[in-house]
Amino acid sequence: MHVATAERSHGRRRAAALLFLLIGLAGCQLAGAGAVDAASRPTLPAIERQVMCVSCKIPLNVAQSQQADRERAFIQGLIDEGRSESQIKRALVGQYGPAVLGLPATHGFDLAAYLVPLAVVLALLAMLAMLLPRWRRHSPPDGGRSDASPALDPSDAARLDADLARFK
């Protein structure tokens, strides 16, 4: 009995450690989202994957329109001026509006687009961590398998024997 209690305790500690690890990783992800390496020079293909064509409503890297070409020229001009990726995105929003960004902003109400899925995943993991020990406690020790056959009615047993004898 002592081994089962220790095993449950160990499982709970492992689940709690996993939960804290996931929360820590989520925090690092949010903190790192705004911290972009300013030393790296942005490229047109990198920016194209992150912004939308405002007339086509599709990512700029796949858009084939005159408006998409104007946006590419605008972005290339900003890159040639030596602007950073965040400066280019701010200039695009100033020129074309927030619809040009492929992802929602990381502040205000738009932050919910990132936090709600994260909160749902964490809630599901917490619920799993709480329910898993209960499920394991209620499962039969042999894994639900039983080697004993249920007793057959004598008439059913005779009919089964007769059917098996026909196939021999």
Handedness of CA 21, 24, 30, 33 (dihedral sign): negative
The tokens describing 31, both together, are 């903190």
Q: How far apart are CA 59 and CA 104, in angstroms?
A: 14
pLDDT band for position 91 (cuts 50, 70, 90): very high
The tokens describing 69, both together, are 């070409």
- Report the pLDDT value the prediction gives residue 32, as an integer from 0 to 100: 54
CA of 26: how far to CAs of 20, 53, 54, 102, 121, in Å? 10, 30, 31, 21, 11
Q: How many CB atoms lie within 10 A of CB 61?
A: 18
Predicted confidence (pLDDT) per residue in 30-77, tens digit:
555 444 444 578 999 999 998 999 888 898 999 999 999 999 999 999
Residue boundaries of the structural domains of the chain: 1-35+108-138, 39-103
- Chain position carrying tokens 């449950």: 8
Q: For residues 44 and 72, is the Cβ–Cβ distance under 8 A?
A: yes
CATH topology of domain 39-103: Helicase, Ruva Protein; domain 3 (1.10.8)
- Report the pLDDT value the prediction gives residue 77, as an integer from 0 to 100: 95
Residue 140 scores a pLDDT above 90: no
SS3 label, residue 36: coil
Reported pTM = 0.45
